[in-house]
A and B are shown apart, each in its own frame.
Chain A
Amino acid sequence: KRGVVVSRSNGARGENGGAALRSGAGELEQCGVGTLSPPTMCDQLQQKIICPGLVSCLTASPNGLYILAGIAESIYLWEVSSGNLLAILNRHYQDLTCLCFTDDSSHFLSGAKDCLALVWNLYSVLQVESTQIPDPRHVWSRHTLPITDLCCGFGGPLARAATASLDQTVKLWEISSGELLLSVLFDVGITAVTLDPAEYHLFCGGMDGSVFQVELCAWPVQRDRNFQTERENGKTFKGHRNQVTCLSVSTDGSLLLSGSHDETVRLWEIQSKQCLRTVTHKGPVTNAFIVLAPANMLHPDSKPNVPLPKFSKHLHGTESSDAQGGEGVTLRLGLHQQGSGESYLERAERLYSQMCSTREKNLMGDQEQLKIQVTDLEEEVRTLRKINKNLFEFSARFLTKSAK
């Protein structure tokens, strides 16, 4: 059942819903129970990947080069062109709930049930050595209940990002400095958030099904605002009967799309707050968004011009790629060179060197580590000796005393 819910297409702009969209080719990716599968337009599966756990969120970078998936507590990063699994990031303590790229694909944000939102620099994540765990650029820990949704504005690393949480607040942050700009408190927990393209308004979908519109340029400037439904009755879209799960604003900022657990998708006109269209589904809507129609979408027989590679299940660089150097781009100049593969001799040599390297690594792999371990152990021995001595003294005293 869960597999169905993750992607429901909305149909309001007719077009595409789903978890993630790859630019260029126009495939949709659909994730079900433990699977990550990019089908083509006509719902035929192009590929299906079995993931190690339930995929709770999925996003592709706007430049189409990387795919991020949140699986349980870790973030998986794939490279689209090669299908390599480049990184697994384990900084969250509980399940991921949302992922989001900045519009220039240089950073991404992740939110999880442990109330943390992390900002990562994509390239520093990629460049870090495999032994180290990459650090996020900012850790935003001001929410007190799970983060439910993230939204990133325009401007690359200079953009602002909004986080929504069940603790009834929506917070607006600056990605470059990591500072909190605004915190809005609502009457209900917030489950979806989005910014309009001009960033004049913030749209927040609540657990009770209402969508709130927060003026960002309101006067006077307040860092902590309180949004009360009664007082600002003109700023609420009412119609959904259950929690709002997704929000999206059209590129001209006039239409708002919202999907909800009451099994409907609604399209609103922002100016008048009227519901223009309601689309019903069989089952809760979990995701819907507005995109520009890709060029080849309307041709049902069109094929993607770049086939998707097979997405690997294991971390790139750990299994067999030591010989290839691990880092650096593999360039393939023309097909004719592919024929001349390496000879058996070369291959044997490579295998040998690989074996040697792993053994060396084990032996003297990390001198530093070894030293620390040695001091650790020495310290431990010293403490044990001390304890032993104490024990001996004590017992000796005890025995002599009892003898008396």
Chain B
Amino acid sequence: MTKKRKRQEDFQKVKLKVGKKKPKLENVTDTNFKTKAIQIPEQLKEDGMLPVQNRKLNIKDLLSQMHHYSAGVKQSALVGLKDLLSQYPFIIDAHLSNIISEVAAVFTDKDSGVRGAAVCLLQFLASKLRAEQIAPYFPLVSAHLSSAMTHISEGIQEDSLKVLDILLEEYPVLLTDRSSILLKNFVELISHQQLSKRLKNRQKISWMLSVNPNRRVTSQQWRLNVLVRLRKFLRALVDGVSELEDEEGLQEQKEGSLSLKNPVCTNWKEHASNQQPIQLYENGGSQPKINSSFRLRSLVSMTDRMEKGLSSAENVKGFIEIIIPLLIECWIEASPAQLGAPVLGNLLEPESQQLMQQVLNIIHLLWKLTKQHDEMHKMEVWLRVNYLVDFKQHFMRHFPYSFQETVKHKKKDSYKRYEQNVSNNIDHLLLNLILCDIMVSLSSASTLHMDSDWLDRIRNFVTDTLQDGSKLNSKQLNRLLGVTWRLMQIQRNKVAAETLIKAVFTLYQQKNLLFPVRTLLLKFFSRVYQKEELSPQGVRNRSKILSRWLAGLPLQLVLLGSKNPELSNQLIDTIHSAASHSKKELLQSLQAIVSRIYDPLDGTLVLLPAESQQRLVQLVYFLPCLPTSLLSSLSRCCIMGRMSSELAATLIGILHMRSSFAGWKCQVQEGSLNDIDYFSFFFSTLTGFSREELMSLQSIRGKPHISQTQLSPVRLYLTDLDQFLHHWSVTEVVCHSLSTIPSRSQCFDILQSGICKYLVGMAVIPDSTAGSILCAINKLLDQACILSENLHKFLASCCYSLLYFLLTLDKEDAEHIQKRDVLWGSCISMLALLPRVLRLMLQSLQVSRVCREELPVIAQLLRLLIQHGQLRSHMVTNELLVQQIIKDMMTLKTGEVQEQWLTDLHYCFNIYLASHPQGPGPMNTVY
């Protein structure tokens, strides 16, 4: 019983009733809280853990997934790899070798998606990696690439071209190192070997174009794709060997002749202490010659260049032998004559055009390659022998491939096609030009008579294109001029050359040409001109058009103004060289227009930058005659500050050489520079201001511009510091030139009469002019010279005005303070040189009530003059005058306090002058 009760206590039944709430249990979980997700986009980085991408896969996982059998996994691994690497670029460096080997391995993957992803990844990698970084892995990459190119499956072959594109874009140099394999691959892509019994007979292996019906694209399209890559590859090869710029037509040959080679710079000190290895190159050149048979191992490139490639003439020859028949086959299929054939009727017109263009481009590049190898003429002859007939037959048959012709064939096509052709029209020209280029390079002067038929056609085409060539762009023109140049070289015949030049000249004369076009034409002409200069035929064979061109240059220079300094520079170069070769036509036209070139206001000289200015100034030397007007504008140019003072000095030096006073070696043409003009040039340069300017200065009044004193009739106009310094440096050069003229006293007389005529009597004179005149007189004066009274007075008042100005100068006035030394020096030496000027100046110091405020200045001036060593003896002779002045001062000062300046003056006077009464005393009592 008890047991039962007990059990009941333990397990009491809870009675649940409808309508009542269920009591809460003791162990119930309280669930009325809310949750929110915490998102951690990025894990805390822990060392030891490799970074992962979105799918939490790290680099090792991804790389291992590349070996997965499923294409989808591989593709996603590649995409993931790209994500990872773009997030964490540092991984690239650490795992480069793995990444590259894995990526390269899937170039040949069966699945196109995987290959696409691999190409994407490669593109990404290529943008991040420098050529040096990838160089060690490049053999691997290129091995995979060539296995892809030679793969049996078409899809892989097609995608391999994309890989090639990327590599060509980013690492052309590395790729060209392995040219031998790649070139063979190219050939194999579009053709197959003809297997024949003859192969065993050691005959040449012949190749023929292959047609594969399984491809997704037409075989012509496919060929086009391959040829585009081949062209790019060859371009890289050509560029790599000679480092020519893109699409060089005209400049290319020029570069060789004009380029400045940098000589080897050897630092023996470093070599002596073994800090630097010595590199020796043959023939004392600065760079190792690539084509030499003895080659030092290249230190730059890691890969060994022992493989054949196209590095020797023989190999190029071999490759040409293989590829050109193929190209000709391509051409035949694409050429307009074949369009009627049913097989190719469905080809798109632009496509075949492009194909033709690629074919020609490739041939052109191959020609360039052959030219780079030595024994050039041998190669040329070889090419001519082998291919001229073929080329004539296929390429030249329909030669000017024109827009009209294609339209005629495609008339049935829709209007839309027609429009497309219009847009392609420009390519026709380029196509024709490349063809011309190729054909012309096959001919030479010795074979002219054999080739005259097709050369004439080319010539006519070139002439016609040039004559209506207003819409040529610079690239086309460049090629066109290249062809023209070559034609002119081939045909020594004067008449033919003249027609060509004339055609270019008509183009040149058109008005609204673009600057690059104009520059090209100019370059062409100057090159033709240089060649003519060098030719030994002499005067008889001068081209008339060329001399017309030459004579037009100065006018063109003037018209160009400051619009295009670069072009002007080129013009000046040509003019300069022609002038130095004393070409009559040019000199005449230059002489005619010279006043506009050297116009001080808007002439070419003042508009152009400094380097061109220098050339223009040097051109003055070559002018046949220097008329008065030219000299006056030159002098204005000198003093107006548009030229630097060094350049002005150069100009004065050149004029000095041209003058009859230089006596340098043998005389220049008599009478070309008039002596009178020469002197007036110097005088106006010395004055530094034109007469009109001086006149307008006379009316200026007032403190900031004018320094004025009561005791001198000359007021000074204060010039800007820049102008002053410029004027001063020019003055020094002028003074030197004047001082080298043999008859000093006559020269001085001329200067004196100039000063008396133009400057004496002016009320306002610029301070720089006054200083310059003092300086010039100091330089030129000697015993034989006699100064007129007028000049003495003028000089005395100038001196006083200048000295007064210098002594009243504010110490803070930074602008004028720099003038002090030069002006002070020239004043003092003037006074020392001409005692009479000193005397006149002292006499003019008649102190009166009017100038009471000037008294301290006068006193200071006197004190300084007395103290000055050079002047002391002269001051002693003028002692009475000085005494008088001091007395006058005392009388004016009576009744006021003795001031410091007066005591100083008294002291000096007593020390230096009063102690030796009368006459020049000995100098031993100076201190």
Chain A interface residues (CB < 8 Å from chain B): 2, 5, 54, 56-57, 93-95, 97, 113-116, 132-133, 141, 144-146, 148, 166-168, 174, 176-177, 179-181, 187-189, 191, 207-209, 221, 223, 241-243, 261-262, 284, 372, 375-376, 379-380, 383
Contacts and interface: CB of A to CB of B under 8 A. Distances in A.
B335 interface: no
B580 A115 contact: yes
A16 to B, nearest CB: 21
A116 B576 CA distance: 12
Contacts of A93: 580-582
A263 to B, nearest CB: 9
A376 B495 contact: yes
Contacts of B261: 177, 179
Contact of A95 (B496, B621, B666): B666
B718 interface: no
B263 A146 contact: no
Interface centre among A95, A132, A375, A376 (most CB of B within 10 A): A375
A180 B657 contact: no
Given A114-B580, A166-B653, A177-B284, A191 B265 contact: no
Given A54-B666, A242-B740, 19 more contacts: A2-B666, A94-B580, A114-B580, A145-B618, A145-B621, A167-B618, A177-B263, A177-B284, A177-B285, A189-B653, A189-B657, A191-B664, A207-B653, A207-B656, A261-B663, A379-B495, A379-B496, A383-B495, A383-B499
B740 A243 contact: yes
B618 A187 contact: no
B159 to A, nearest CB: 51
Contacts of A145: 618, 621, 654
Interface residues on B, range: 35 or more
The 4 closest A-B pairs by CB, nearest first: A93-B581, A379-B495, A133-B536, A242-B740
B2 interface: no
B495 A180 contact: no
Interface centre among B284, B493, B664 (most CB of A within 10 A): B664
Contacts of B494: 376
B225 to A, nearest CB: 47
Nearest to A93: B581
A208 to B, nearest CB: 6
A114 B665 CA distance: 14
Contact of B260 (A146, A180, A375, A376): A180
B492 interface: yes
B493 A375 contact: yes
29 contacts: A2-B666, A5-B663, A56-B666, A93-B580, A93-B582, A94-B580, A95-B666, A146-B621, A148-B665, A166-B657, A174-B263, A177-B263, A179-B261, A180-B260, A187-B646, A189-B654, A189-B657, A207-B656, A209-B740, A221-B265, A241-B739, A241-B740, A243-B662, A372-B492, A372-B493, A376-B493, A376-B495, A379-B495, A383-B499
Interface in B641-691: 646, 649-650, 653-654, 656-657, 662-666
Contacts of B346: none
B184 interface: no
Contacts of B196: none
Contacts of A133: 536
B235 to A, nearest CB: 31
Given A208-B736, A376-B495, A166 B654 contact: yes
Contact of B576 (A132, A144, A168, A207): A144
Contacts of B260: 180
Contacts of A168: 650
Contacts of B580: 93-94, 113-116
A166 B614 CA distance: 13
B283 interface: yes
B729 to A, nearest CB: 11
Interface in B849-898: none
Nearest to B573: A144
Nearest to B614: A144
B285 A148 contact: no
A148 B664 contact: yes
A221 B653 contact: no
Nearest to A134: B536
Contacts of A113: 580
B615 interface: yes
B267 interface: yes
Contacts of B283: 177
A379 B654 CA distance: 48
Nearest to A375: B493
A4 B262 CA distance: 45
B610 to A, nearest CB: 14
Contacts of B284: 174, 176-177
A177 B285 CA distance: 8
B615 A144 contact: yes
Contacts of B495: 376, 379-380, 383
Contacts of B657: 166, 189, 207
A187 B615 CA distance: 16
A275 B786 CA distance: 33
Contacts of A383: 495, 499
Contacts of B493: 372, 375-376, 379
B582 A243 contact: no
A188 to B, nearest CB: 6
Contacts of B736: 208
Nearest to B656: A207
Contacts of A223: 262
B263 A181 contact: yes
Contact of A132 (B536, B581, B653, B740): B536
A243 B263 contact: no
A104 to B, nearest CB: 18
B621 A166 contact: yes
Interface in B241-288: 260-263, 265, 267, 283-285
Contacts of B492: 372
Contacts of A189: 650, 653-654, 657
B778 to A, nearest CB: 15
Nearest to B653: A189
A19 to B, nearest CB: 12
B529 to A, nearest CB: 13
Contacts of A141: 577
A376 B657 CA distance: 46
A379 B666 CA distance: 46
A95 B84 CA distance: 76
Contacts of B739: 241
Contacts of A376: 493-495
A56 B496 contact: no
B463 to A, nearest CB: 12
Contacts of B285: 177
A261 B576 CA distance: 29
Interface centre among B262, B495, B496, B736 (most CB of A within 10 A): B495
Contacts of B656: 207
A168 B618 CA distance: 11
Interface centre among A177, A207, A284 (most CB of B within 10 A): A207
A114 B618 contact: no
B665 A97 contact: yes
A5 B263 CA distance: 41
Contacts of A144: 576, 615, 618
A221 B496 contact: no
Contacts of A241: 739-740
Interface in B486-535: 492-496, 499
A179 B263 CA distance: 7
A146 B668 CA distance: 12
B491 to A, nearest CB: 9
A5 B665 CA distance: 10
Contacts of A115: 580
Interface in B908-924: none
A146 B615 CA distance: 13
A95 B665 CA distance: 10
Interface centre among B657, B662, B665, B666 (most CB of A within 10 A): B665
B154 to A, nearest CB: 56
